[in-house]
């Protein structure tokens, strides 16, 4: 079945540690996204990538980094510079650049808790 | 100007009733308005979407009403069922970038 796989589902981190969240898709989508979800704030865009080896900052990129070395993969690193990293992180993908590109398919999410 | 404002934050409806969630936007360049449904512990899934060239779109029990002049759109769930209990997000975007601006979300509870 085609879809998006995020791992791990739950992650605990000590303050000062970097952590990397994995996102893999087998939908053959060109574009991939990372959103952060906090209660009462909806989903906010962290980073997005329209093609391999290229990515752009979203609205809340500070303290995060990404890479896009393969079409299928778009890992997100939450660095120690992120002041409030406890949140639910959602990865999404879309066809990209054509009509229908704004239909996003989401993964099941990764919940990060900083201890 | 990039915000999408959603209300109410939470909603309780009796089974068989109508659930109504409202969203408002400022950016007139937005040309795509989807609604996503999210169950606890899951990622959001596209429910229904509309473009500004029509005022209403219906899919089964779900209807989007769109008012371009007021820059508002709403989701109506007819004959609400307990299985509809979830969080609903409105969103908006322009062009074909896939960059969605989401509302704050509405938690719907449908009581049996």
pLDDT in tens, B5-44: 999 999 999 999 999 999 999 999 999 999 999 999 899 9
What are the residue ranges in chain A where pLDDT is below 50?
A: none
Mutation to test the A interface, candidates B99, B102, B106, most A Cβ within 10 Å: B99
Q: What is the pLDDT of residues B31-90, one digit of tens each?
A: 999 999 999 989 999 999 999 899 999 999 999 999 999 999 999 999 999 999 999 999
**Interchain contact, A48 vs B100, CB within 8 Å:** no
pLDDT at B98: 78
**Interchain contact, B41 vs A97, CB within 8 Å:** no
> Closest-CA residue in chain B for A41?
B104
Strands A110-114 and A10-13: parallel
Q: How far is CA A100 from the centre of its chain?
A: 20
CB of B90 within 8 A of CB of B4? yes
- Going by C-alpha positions, the residue among B96, B72, B77, B99 that lies closest to residue B88 is B77
Of the partner residues A42, A50, A98, the one whose CB lies closest to the CB of residue B104: A42
pLDDT at B95: 78
């Amino acid at each position: 079945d085609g879809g998006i796989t995020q791992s791990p589902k739950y992650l605990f981190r000590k303050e000062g540690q970097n952590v990397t969240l994995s996102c893999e898709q087998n939908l053959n989508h060109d574009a991939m996204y990372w959103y952060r979800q906090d209660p009462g704030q909806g989903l906010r865009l962290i980073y997005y990538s329209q093609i391999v080896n290229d990515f752009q900052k979203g609205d809340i990129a500070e303290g995060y980094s990404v890479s896009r070395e393969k079409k299928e993969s778009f890992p997100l690193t939450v660095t120690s510079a992120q002041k409030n990293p406890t949140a639910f992180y959602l990865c999404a993908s879309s066809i990209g650049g054509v009509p229908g590109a704004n239909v996003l398919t989401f993964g099941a999410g990764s919940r990060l808790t900083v201890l | 100007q990039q915000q999408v404002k959603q209300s109410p934050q939470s909603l309780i409806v009796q089974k068989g009733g109508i659930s109504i969630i409202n969203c408002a936007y400022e950016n007139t360049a937005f040309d795509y308005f989807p609604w996503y449904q999210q169950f606890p512990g899951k990622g959001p899934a596209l429910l229904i979407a509309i473009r500004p060239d029509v005022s209403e779109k219906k899919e089964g029990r779900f209807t989007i009403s769109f008012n371009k002049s007021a820059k508002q759109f709403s989701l109506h769930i007819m004959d609400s069922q307990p299985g509809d209990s979830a969080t609903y997000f409105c969103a908006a975007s322009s062009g074909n970038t896939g960059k969605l601006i989401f509302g704050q979300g509405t938690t719907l509870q449908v009581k049996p």
